[in-house]
Structure 1
Amino acid sequence: MDNAVTGEHQPSPKEIRLVIAASSAGTIFEWYDFFIYGTLAGLIGAAFFPSGNETLQLLLVWAGFAIGFGFRPLGAILFGYLGDRLGRKYTFLVTVTLMGVATAGVGMIPSAATIGIAAPIIVILFRILQGLALGGEYGGAAIYVAEHAPPEKRGFYTSFIQASVAGGFVLSIAVVLVCRALIPADDFAAWGWRVPFLLSIILLGISLWMRLKLSESPVFRAMKEAGETAKNPFVESFTYPGNKKRIFIALFGVTGILTTIWYTAFFSGLSFLRGPMHLDESLVEYIMFGAGLISMGFYLIVGKWSDRVGRKKPIVLGALATLALLFPVFWAMGSLANPGLAEAAKANPVVVSGADCRTDPFADLFDREQTPCGKVLETLTASGVAYDVAQAETLSVSVGGTDIALDEAWMDDGAARRDGLRAQLTNFGFDFEKQIPPVANILGIVALLLVMAALSALTYGSVAALLSEMFPPRIRYSSMSIPYHIGAGYLGGFLPLISGIIVARTGDIYSGLWYTMAVVAFGVIVAWWGLPSGPPRDFADEVGRDSA
């Protein structure tokens, strides 16, 4: 049984437009709520995770980001159960309400300077609530649209949901840009960053108003009237014939690919430009806004294309292209963003010599003593400076073969060490000022981000349709939500944190990309093996094929 339910009223074009608009708007608002945390990562770190160690502070912010993702699978289980038992519509009304309240709550928490350790604890609790809500949102919105869409247009109609995920990111940046324009810089850093979180209450009201106008999906109504709803959707998701294989494919061959590419394109790109490349923060936000806004159309194009060629071809093509282009795109972006830094590193290579030269990014958190050499390496990495390491009895730093002076007092003061090393390196052509590259370079960066966005669209644009077609209607909400949110929650949500740790350990600002490469490489093997080729097919066709 699918959206072409025999004897059931089929939605009119007007009803389908309302379904797409309400589901997409709610998805935009809910992802806005989730992404505003990452968009304002630097200010959140200063408010709730203050540390004299820049690297540790940012890693703690990304750890909080990852915790929210870590609870998405639990939300998928909980709300998937409710969605398959009680209905699609009312379940995602609950999820959007929970998300809006939790996001506004983050904007109301006093800083760590005011209430101490309670501040980050409360932030993490709200991130957990956001993760639970998001675990139920995507599956509900995607299935709701898919079950209203005619089969021949399912990829196109559901692609609006994927575009809405990017739309949430774009909206988060747009709101930050408006707030920065209206609020003086010092005030924005002190309290103005809270405004985007508090605006979530307004977005929640709009989303609820739109979604309350919707009726339940025709597929769920038909199943309920026929008494065919699942008694325990979670258990049935793992006992239904062939479903374990489908869940494995959905987890690694679909979600693992799309989520790591998406977060690499947008959040790694954002962090890379704003951090080691030293681009002006407002400029980075404008760049990401422009690239994100344009990219929303890519998802619609791929979704429509998948209705003709099938769901497998775009995903495999996008994954293979990512493996070939990921490093070259980021290398080119670094050269355009801060050409002086790259040129200085080539002309005057930095060599750090010392005993036990390795970094421990969590040393301050766990009260472990980091070696002087490790502290220097950490500072250079945070500054975007490439270096080589040589073992020696005494600590020294040479630039282009010339030793630079190291003040012993720097070893106990992270800010002094950063300022002192940067001042010394500036004499050799390294530029640590906030960068505003030439217009041609900025356009080049946008173009490179659009390449990443196109790769994301290829692997993401048809996914809502694909996952809806992979699983039986009676347990569809649970079966697609569980692998999707395990993949997005752990493989994707932990990407900024894992990549940050890899960079901190290696000192290579590009080394974090190897995490994306590994996940995508494994995923494309699974996708090639497990995804059905040819034109899209409803689940009933898959059952016949599996049992043949």
Structure 2
Amino acid sequence: MLAAALGTVFEWYDFFIYGTLAAFFGALFFPPSNETAAFLASLATFGAGFVLRPFGALFFGRLGDLVGRKVTFLITMLIMGVATAAVGLLPTFAQIGWWAPIILVTLRLLQGLAVGGEFGGAVTYVAEHAGSGRRGFITSWIQITATGGLLLSLLAILICRNSMSPEAFASWGWRIPFVGSIGLLLLSLYIRLKLHESPVFKQMQSEGRTSKNPIKEVLGEKRNLKTVLIAIFGAVAGQAVIWYTGHFYSLYFMTNTLKLDPSTAYIYLTIGLVLATPFFVVFGWLSDCIGRKWIILTGCALSAILFIPIFNGLMIYGNPRLAAFRANHTVALQGADCVADQSIVTQLFSPAKTTPCSKAKSFLSANAVPYTVVPGDGFGLRLGDRSFTGFDEPAVKVALVEAGLPLKADPAQANAPMMVALLFALVFLATMVYGPLGAMLVELFPTQIRYSGVSVALQFGNGWIGGFAPLVAASVVVSTGDVFAGLWYTVIFAASTAVIGAVLLRETHTSRL
């Protein structure tokens, strides 16, 4: 358990170190013409790491069911480590132009491919060593590894930021956590090489009962495909959006929306993670006692109800002046091009942003100023009783500041204990859903296709539903002018998972492997 968990922690560190710095990467690897477009592009690149996760699940899941668990997650770890170190050596947009984002996206795709085969292998390997009465408790230590990898990445960046000037960190210091992961890679490979193959797999192999084509059996046989779909939409989808919104979008929200100092935001989230992480094991253990299904679904239902109020609380306690400004002021944007420029697609794929309305939306979104769009001829902007023709950013900024908009959060006004408590609540809800999930997925699939089945269900849910939660949330905010509107993506998937799981998901905690 320790060997598998440590290796997986290091692999998640490699995957999440980019996510922790995603907002910072916008100015490094993308055209500097538009701040909001660069930020969305950096989140899209973070999401690109999730695109290939299901394909990694298919490829490495098949390999794990054919040749064994141990060899497969040695390969995934090597791919991950090399790709992460390469990001730390990558020239910026200013140095090599468009080759910088192209190479960065390629490296993120490789990371996604590797992660797609890693977690399913680790949780399957550990579960096949565990007794039936302790499977939830044992596998919950693997569930901790994703949060542990994020925590390790936060600590690495926090140490680097605090040990050098902001200018030095922006210039070259950000590379240290990436290049330094080579040491973690070597240690992880050494640990994994000491492992023996799963006894369940060895028995199946000795009896000649291994699958000839595990992917065909998983996706081509009606019974197994039904199990995969129920697992995705009745458990994994909710876990995915809850985990990534609570762990990543909360960080973007604090730094980009609330304008908290990044180091302060990292400290708040780090404390919240440290306090909440033990509950992965608590809920894993509890699922051995009372069952897994209703713990997972209760976490999904509570998240659907509480996430938007919790994020409202983060604004009230993190930047009370911004909360007060937003309660009393709304900017009205008028013009035909504003009405036509509402879509998320426009925000993502039109980095030039040449229209006055697009520039206004970018500026207002970057400063968390609420706005509404009304039809009309020409372009105009209205704040209270003040009107502007065209978009004069300096003049609008002065007007907003005079009306009470804070351009940065005042650390003296932030309520640190409440911020930590709210972040703890977000992570706690994630532990409730995620802690028992590994054991449940392992128990849903037969041994000969277990690696493939677990990996496919987990990575389709996390890769294509959860991984894009921060990007979708940020894009909806830009399109609507409502900083909380993006959270409806998480709320809808969490609520639908609770309903689908309640009807279709079976209890598994008494199953034999």
TM class, shorter-chain normalised?
A: over 0.9
Taking the TM superposition and a 5 Å limit, the aligned residue runs for 1:448-467 are 448-467=422-441
134-143 or 346-355, which moves further after superposition?
Answer: 346-355
Offset at residue 241 of structure 1 (A) = 6.3
CA drift of 1:52 comes to 2.0
How big is each residue's C-alpha offset from its partner over 1:133-192, in whole Å with a ceiling of 9 and x where there is no partner?
A: 001100111011101111111001100111111000000000001111222210100111
Selected match of 2:167 from 186, 192, 205: 186
Structure 1 residue aligned with 2:84, among 103, 121, 135? 103
Q: Which has the larger displacement, 359-368 or 272-281?
A: 359-368
How far apart are 1:354 and its partner, in Å? 3.5
3-state SS, counterpart of residue 397 of structure 1: strand
Does the Cα contact within 8 Å between 1:363 and 1:370 map onto a contact in 2?
A: no
1:43 corresponds to which residue?
A: 24
Q: CA deviation at 1:407?
A: 6.8
Partner of 1:384: 368
CA spacing shift, 1:406–1:172, aligned 2, 3 Å: farther
Distance 1:313 1:438 in 2: 40
Deviation of 1:426 after TM superposition, in Å, equals 0.7
Contact 2:10 2:188 in 1 (8 A): yes
Structure 1 counterpart of 2:3, from 16, 19, 22: 22
Between the aligned partners of 2:5 and 2:224, the Cα distance in structure 1 is: 28
Distance in 1 (alpha carbons) for counterparts of 2:85 and 2:413: 38
1:34 aligns with 2:7: no
Question: Is 1:201 aligned with 2:182?
Answer: yes
Deviations 1:503-536 (A, max 9, x none): 1111111110111112122211221112224x71
What is the CA distance between 1:423 and its match in structure 2? 2.4
CA deviation after TM superposition for structure 1 residue 240, in Å: 4.8
Q: Counterpart of 1:388 in 2: which secondary structure?
A: strand
> Which residue type is aligned with residue 364 of structure 2?
L
Report which stretch shifted further, 89-98 or 522-531: 522-531
Distance 2:347 2:46 in 1: 20
**Which whole-Å CA distance do the structure 2 matches of 1:239 and 1:41 have between them?**
38
Unmatched segments (≥5 aa) in structure 2: none
2:13·2:150 contact (CA, 8 Å) conserved in 1?
A: yes
Deviation at 1:377, TM superposition (A): 2.5
Q: Shift of the alpha carbon at 1:109?
A: 0.8
- Aligned mate of 2:476, from 483, 502, 505: 502
After TM superposition, give the deviation of residue 373 of structure 1 in Å. Answer: 2.7
Residue 147 of structure 1 aligns with which residue?
A: 128
1:253-292 correspondence to structure 2 within 5 Å: 253-292=234-273
Contact 1:25-1:207 at 8 Å conserved across structures: yes
- Alignment correspondent of 2:408: 433
Shift of 1:437: 4.5
Q: How does 1:97-496 map to 2 (within 5 A)?
A: 97-240=78-221, 242-358=223-339, 359=341, 362=346, 365-366=349-350, 371-399=355-383, 401-405=384-388, 410=392, 417=393, 419-438=394-413, 441-496=415-470
- Structure 1 residue corresponding to 2:58, chosen from 73, 77, 84: 77
Partners of 1:295 and 1:450 within 8 A in 2 = yes
User: 1:67 offset after TM fit, Å?
Assistant: 1.2
Shift in alpha-carbon separation, 1:331–1:66, aligned structure 2, 3 A: same
Equivalent-residue separation in structure 2 for 1:108 and 1:95 (angstroms): 21
Q: Deviations over 1:326-375 (max 9, x none)?
A: 11111111111111112122234433333442445646944776542342
- Cα distance in 1, alignment partners of residues 67 and 48 from structure 2: 28
Determine whether 1:527 maps to 2:488.
no
Please state how far the C-alpha of 1:438 moved relative to its aligned partner. Answer: 3.8
Counterpart Cα distance in 2 of 1:469 and 1:428? 58
Alpha-carbon contact 1:471-1:539 (below 8 Å) kept: no
Q: What's the % identity of the aligned pairs?
A: 41
> Which deviates more from structure 2 when the two are superposed, residues 126-135 or residues 240-249?
240-249
Cα deviation, residue 468, structure 1: 0.6
Equivalent pairs counted in the alignment come to 510
Gap regions ≥5 residues in structure 1: 1-19, 411-416, 541-548
Residues 369 and 197 of structure 1, relative CA distance in 2, 3 Å threshold:
closer
Q: 2:69 aligns with which of 77, 88, 95?
A: 88
TM-superposed deviation, 1:317: 0.6
SS of the residue 2:260 aligns to: coil
SS in 1 for 2:403: coil
TM-score for the superposition, normalised by structure 1: 0.89
Moved more, 157-166 or 240-249: 240-249
Check the 8 A contact 1:378/1:507 in 2, yes or no.
no
Q: Which amino acid aligns with 1:428?
A: A
